[in-house]
Amino acid sequence: MNESLEENKKGKYILIRDGEEEDTTELGGLFYKPLPCFGFGIGWFSFLLGFVFPFAWYFATFLYLSNYYRRDPRERSGLAASAIAALIFTVALVITVLVLVFSGR
């Protein structure tokens, strides 16, 4: 034990394994899999698709609020970006409708 402590102080590190030879541990194996939707993930793909079909932002917002990102934490940022885009789009749509209704047209 003293030898390994002295080696660590010198800058030599020992790789510790838990006995499994496979690279698919509980959390590590999850991140070796590619994300769906051409590798972007559902969140970022919905964010990009939302500029053409805004309903995609609402779909991603539903996934974000239902904690879909617990399956894969890499999805969280894209889903959050889509939720923010949906909020901005909704506010802009409501303001536009109110201006058109009260402008006298």
Q: Where are the domains of the chain?
A: 42-104
pTM across the whole model: 0.67
* C-alpha atoms less than 13 angstroms from C-alpha of 36 in its C-beta half-sphere: 7
**69 vs 77: CA distance, rounded Å:** 9
Helices (DSSP H) in 1-105: which residue ranges?
Answer: 2-10, 42-49, 55-65, 76-102
Mean pLDDT of the chain: 81
3-state secondary structure of 12: coil
What is the token pair recorded at 95? 């303001």
Mind listing the pLDDT tens digit for each residue in 36-66?
A: 777 788 889 999 999 999 999 999 999 999 9
Mind listing the pLDDT tens digit for each residue in 62-91?
A: 999 998 878 888 888 999 999 999 999 999
Say yes or no to pLDDT of 21 above 60: no
